[in-house]
């Protein structure tokens, strides 16, 4: 649960939202009490995020929650006509799990398109090696989450699939031409540019800006994210504490804001680092405030009804695949 120091810090700094990790998760009752406590600390219904993709990236796990298959499983379902339906259903079930414990933002779906020889940090988190199939299944997942009252976050814009390194530990450089990036990496993001929220990639795209990763690159934001992709939703950084980034935490946050990010994300819970980020964090204003309101507006509805009995066979297929 929250310490007195954390409560006081959150009350003073007023973050837009919070993100939970496996270290924060025990069981349903504990998570609900935590989400309620976080919102009480800031005195409002703040957004609460989690990474719940399925497969190896699933913070809420058995025995208290179902295991879900990785994205790649949906792309390999034998009947192509069933792939999107099963992906949407899986996301709708996840949304139910999240909503009942007070979580309303899921950092999914992954829209990255992997290539042969890339680092496996994405791997089976990607739906397919084909960008059109990634776009189709990514939309199914995003729409399933929204139907369940959970905001999706498309990631990692404008693409992490070619990265030869894990940005948790190193800064990846991608040497592909802009034409190649346009044809493959950017394509799923263009198709889902109507989605309300996105997360950046800590990846250097040398054909666009060899000086720094997308998260801190004004060129990538202007030319690609807001330009070629045409994305006008709320953009959040990937975790500022990942080792792909350098400099102080204040410098990292300021560089992300200067590039065009609306929100900066810090994940490891280290108080000194959080304080450094909070010291330079910008209050939401102007276009960023508009985007944040529009994003949360997409889930300002009662969840779509879920008839588990009617869907029992399909649900069993999904969970059996995960097992």
Q: Say if 35 falls within a structural domain.
A: no
- Is 202 one of the catalytic residues? no
Decide if 162 contacts 112 (C-beta within 8 A): no
The domain tally of the chain equals 1
| Domain contains 318 | no
pLDDT digits (tens, 9 = 90+) for 34-56: 999 999 999 999 999 999 999 99
* Position 277 in a domain: yes
pTM of the model: 0.96
Phi and psi torsions of 106, nearest 5°: -115, 125
Q: How far apart are CA 14 and CA 269, in angstroms?
A: 15
CATH of the domain at 252: 3.20.20.300
Residue 48 in domain: no
Q: How far is C-alpha 79 from the geometric centre of its chain's CA atoms?
A: 28
Q: Could you tell me if residue 276 is inside a domain?
A: yes
Select which of 45, 132, 168, 301 is catalytic. 168
- Please give the residue range of the domain that contains residue 211: 62-301
311: in domain? no
Distance CA 198, CA 152 (A): 8
Query: Could you say which DSSP state residue 221 is in?
Result: I
Do the domain assignments include residue 101?
A: yes
Q: Is residue 51 annotated as a catalytic residue, yes or no?
A: no
Question: pLDDT tens digit string along 99-157?
Answer: 999 999 999 999 999 999 999 999 999 999 999 999 999 999 999 999 999 999 999 99
**3-class SS at 239?**
strand
Of 124, 238, 239, 262, which residue is the catalytic one?
A: 238
Task: Sort 12 into a burial class: Cβ within 10 Å, 0-12 / 13-18 / 19+.
Answer: exposed
Indicate whether 26 belongs to any domain: no
């Amino acid at each position: 649960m929250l310490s007195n120091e954390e409560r006081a810090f959150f009350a003073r700094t007023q973050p837009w939202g919070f993100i939970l990790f496996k270290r924060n998760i025990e069981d349903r009752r504990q998570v609900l009490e935590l989400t309620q406590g976080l919102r009480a600390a800031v005195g409002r219904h703040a957004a609460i995020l989690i990474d719940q993709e399925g497969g190896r990236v699933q913070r809420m796990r058995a025995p208290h929650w179902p295991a879900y298959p990785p994205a790649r499983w949906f792309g390999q379902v034998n009947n192509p006509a069933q792939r999107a339906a099963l992906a949407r259903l899986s996301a709708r079930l996840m949304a139910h799990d999240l909503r009942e414990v007070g979580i309303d933002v899921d950092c999914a779906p992954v829209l990255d398109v992997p290539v042969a020889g890339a680092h496996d940090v994405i791997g089976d988190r990607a739906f397919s090696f084909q960008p059109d199939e990634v776009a189709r299944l990514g939309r199914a997942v995003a729409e399933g989450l929204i139907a369940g009252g959970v905001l999706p976050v498309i990631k990692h814009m404008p693409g992490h699939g070619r990265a030869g390194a894990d940005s948790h530990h190193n800064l990846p450089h991608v040497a592909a031409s802009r034409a190649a990036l346009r044809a493959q990496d950017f394509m799923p993001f263009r198709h889902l540019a109507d989605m309300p929220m996105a997360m950046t990639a800590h990846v250097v795209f040398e054909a666009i800006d060899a000086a720094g990763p997308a998260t801190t690159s004004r060129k990538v934001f202007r030319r690609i994210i807001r330009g070629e992709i045409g994305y006008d939703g709320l953009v959040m950084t990937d975790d500022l504490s990942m080792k792909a980034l350098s400099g102080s935490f204040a410098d990292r946050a300021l560089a992300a804001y200067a590039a065009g990010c609306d929100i900066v994300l810090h994940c490891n819970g280290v108080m000194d680092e959080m304080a450094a980020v909070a010291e330079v964090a910008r209050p939401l204003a102007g276009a960023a405030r508009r985007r944040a309101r529009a994003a949360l507006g997409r889930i300002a509805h009662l969840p779509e009804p879920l008839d588990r009995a009617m869907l029992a066979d399909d649900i069993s297929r999904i969970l059996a695949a995960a097992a």
